[in-house]
């Protein structure tokens, strides 16, 4: 079984400031890792994922996340945020075996203030 | 359509009534998933389909919950004798295949309120 902990339920930051959203996971088997984003009044969208290879993965809108196996973490970072990044962010894992049965964290609400 | 479509977008029902929630996946997507998003439990996996078969139903909370998929396309999640704790947003997602390299595309969900 897997579990995901997102340490911060809410993160307020000022525009153009850096941000880190923390995610730790627990699993008895190897996993794949994902970050999903839910913008206001929209459905969940995949932001980025780690399947294998380089432990640093990037999204098209400037977010990056680094898989740290020893610390069982997959923190999400962005060096300079924009108002449009305001959303709820969900970290998720799935076993490498079988289907994408995702186990989600509780979510982190990122609020960008001007 | 361009994305995953769910209907209705909102449903208010009385305790004890049955409800049906519908999901239209992206055309050609063989895998279909149901999740539930609630205040107390966050996002929970309910069931997934590969074609019309449901290899994993382990997330269904009780035998009041059932789901089917027909023609490898539309899926219906049915909740019988609804209870207040069933109130949540029910999300449907589809993907080309079940492999993790195939991203999930989520619908906007059905918000169910049981009064």
pLDDT for res B39: 81
Chain center to CA of A24 = 10
pLDDT for res B1: 52
User: Residue B25 carries which DSSP code?
Assistant: P
> Is residue B89 within 8 Å of B112, Cβ to Cβ?
yes
Q: Measured between CB atoms, does A3 come within 8 Å of chain B?
A: no
- pLDDT of residue A99 exceeding 80, the answer is no
> Is residue A87 within 8 Å of A31, Cβ to Cβ?
no
Q: How far apart are CA B67 and CA B34, in angstroms?
A: 9
Average pLDDT of chain A is: 93
A83-97 confidence digits (pLDDT tens): 999 999 999 999 888
Tokens of A75: 């923190």
A27-68 confidence digits (pLDDT tens): 998 999 999 999 998 889 999 999 988 899 999 899 999 999
* CB–CB contact A42 B33 (8 Å): no
B4-60 confidence digits (pLDDT tens): 999 999 999 999 999 999 999 999 999 999 999 998 778 999 999 999 999 989 899
Contacts of B104 in chain A (CB under 8 A): 44, 46, 100, 102
Q: How far apart are CA A48 and CA A95, in angstroms?
A: 17
Average pLDDT of chain B is: 93
pLDDT for res B84: 95
pLDDT confidence bin for B109, thresholds 50/70/90: very high
User: Residue B26 carries which DSSP code?
Assistant: P
* CB–CB contact B106 A45 (8 Å): yes
B56-99 confidence digits (pLDDT tens): 898 999 999 999 999 989 999 999 999 999 999 999 999 988 77
**Residue A98: which of A36, A5, A26, A31 has the closest Cα?**
A31
| Residue A35 β-bridge partners | A48, A91
- pLDDT of residue A100 exceeding 80, the answer is no
pLDDT for res B77: 98
Q: Which residue in the set A49, A90, A101 is minimally distant from B45, CB to CB?
A: A101
Element (H, E) at B100: none
* CB–CB contact A99 B42 (8 Å): no
User: Residue B98 carries which DSSP code?
Assistant: S
Q: How far apart are CA A51 and CA A57, in angstroms?
A: 10
| Residue B76 β-bridge partners | B22, B68
pLDDT for res A48: 94
Buried b (16+ CB within 10 A) or exposed e, B8-46: eeebebeeeeebebebbbbeebbbbbbbbbeeeebbbbb
**Residue B5: which of B30, B28, B25 has the closest Cα?**
B25
Contacts of B31 in chain A (CB under 8 A): 99-100
Tell me the residues of B at the A interface, defined by beta carbons under 8 Å apart.
3-4, 31, 33, 35, 42-45, 48, 50, 55-56, 59, 91, 93, 95, 98-104, 106-109
| Residue B68 β-bridge partners | B76
H-type helices in chain B, by residue range? none
* CB–CB contact A103 B56 (8 Å): no
Tokens of A70: 């020893």
């Amino acid at each position: 079984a897997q579990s995901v902990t997102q340490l911060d339920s809410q993160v307020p930051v000022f525009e153009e400031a850096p941000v880190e959203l923390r995610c730790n996971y627990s699993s008895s088997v190897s996993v794949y890792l994902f970050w999903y984003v839910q913008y206001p009044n929209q459905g969940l969208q995949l932001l980025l994922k780690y399947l294998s290879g380089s432990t640093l993965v990037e999204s098209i809108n400037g977010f990056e996340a680094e898989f740290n196996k020893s610390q069982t973490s997959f923190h999400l970072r962005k060096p300079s945020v924009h108002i449009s990044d305001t959303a709820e962010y969900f970290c998720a894992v799935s076993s490498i075996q079988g289907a994408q049965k995702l186990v989600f964290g509780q979510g982190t609400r990122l609020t960008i203030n001007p | 359509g361009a994305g995953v479509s769910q209907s209705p977008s909102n449903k208010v029902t009385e305790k004890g009534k049955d409800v049906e929630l519908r999901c239209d996946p992206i055309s050609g997507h063989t895998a279909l998933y149901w999740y539930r998003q609630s205040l107390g439990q966050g996002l929970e996996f309910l069931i997934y389909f590969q074609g019309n078969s449901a290899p994993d139903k382990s997330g269904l909370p009780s035998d009041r919950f059932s789901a089917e998929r027909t023609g490898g396309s539309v899926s219906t999640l049915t909740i019988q004798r609804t209870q207040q704790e069933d109130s949540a947003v029910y999300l449907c997602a589809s993907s080309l295949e079940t492999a993790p390299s195939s991203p999930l595309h989520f619908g906007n969900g059905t918000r169910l309120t049981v009064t």
